[in-house]
Amino acid sequence: MKKILFCEKVYSRWLILLIDQLIVTISLAASLLVIQKEDLNEVFSNSFLLYVGIYNLITIGVFVSMRIHTGIIRYSSVDDIFRVFKAVLLASLVFEAVTYLFLSAYFEFNNKWFIPMLIINFFISASMLIALRIGVKQLFHYLKDLEVVANEVLLIYGADRASLLIKQGLDSSSERNFVILGFIDDNPDRRNKHIEQKRVYGSDAIQDLKNKYGVEKMIVAEDCLDIDGRKAAIERCMECGIRIISVPASNHWLKGKLKLSQLPDLRIEDLLQRDPINMEGENIKSELKGKRILITGAAGSIGSEIVRQVLKCNPQLLILCDQAETPLHEMQLEIEDTFKSNVCELFIVNIQNYGRLKNLFETYRPEIIFHAAALKHVPMMEHNPSEAILTNVMGTKNLADLAIDYDVEKFIMISTDKAVKPTNVMGASKRIAEIYIQSLQNYQNDVVHRTRFITTRFGNVLGSNGSVVPRFRSQIEAGGPVTVTDPNITRYFMTIPEAVQLVLEASVMGKGGEIFIFDMGEPIKILNLAINMIKLAGFVPYTDIKICFTGLRPGEKLYEELLNKTEKVLPTYHEKIKISNVIYYPYDYVQRKIEELLTLNRLNDDQKVVRKMKEIVPEYVSTNVNYQSIEVVNVETGDLMDVSVEPGVS
| Residue 160 one-letter amino acid | D
**Residue 411 φ then ψ, to 5°:** -125, 110
Which has the closest alpha carbon to 244: 215, 283, 205, 280? Answer: 215
Question: 522 CB contacts (<8 Å, ≥6 apart)?
Answer: none
Q: Is-contact 607 630, C-beta < 8 A?
A: yes
How far apart are the C-alpha atoms of 277 and 494, rounded to whole Å?
Answer: 11
Q: What would you report as the CA-atom Rg of the chain, rounded to the nearest whole angstrom?
A: 36
How far apart are the C-alpha atoms of 71 and 75, rounded to whole Å?
Answer: 8
* Secondary-structure percent of the chain, ordered helix, strand, coil, rounded to 5: 50, 15, 35
SS3 label, residue 548: strand
| Residue 476 one-letter amino acid | I
Longest dimension (CA), the chain: 124
How far apart are the C-alpha atoms of 197 and 585, rounded to whole Å?
Answer: 71
Q: Is-contact 292 516, C-beta < 8 A?
A: no
Q: Is-contact 360 380, C-beta < 8 A?
A: no
Catalytic annotation, residues: 418
Question: 89 CB contacts (<8 Å, ≥6 apart)?
Answer: 122, 126
Is the peptide bond between 586 and the residue preceding it cis, with omega within 30 degrees of 0?
no
Ordered alpha helix ranges (H), 396-484: 396-405, 425-447, 468-477
User: Which helix (H) or strand (E) element contains residue 25?
Assistant: helix 13-35
Which neighbouring-strand residues pair with 361?
none
Q: Is-contact 214 186, C-beta < 8 A?
A: no
How far apart are the C-alpha atoms of 85 and 221, rounded to whole Å?
Answer: 33
CA separation (Å) from 650 to 171, 339, 508, 604? 62, 40, 19, 34
Question: 401 CB contacts (<8 Å, ≥6 apart)?
Answer: none
Please state whether 254 falls in left (phi above 0), alpha (psi between -120 and 50) or beta: beta
Which has the closest alpha carbon to 270: 240, 242, 301, 235? Answer: 235
Which has the closest alpha carbon to 163: 217, 206, 200? Answer: 200
How far apart are the C-alpha atoms of 241 and 235, rounded to whole Å?
Answer: 10
How far apart are the C-alpha atoms of 210 and 61, rounded to whole Å?
Answer: 54
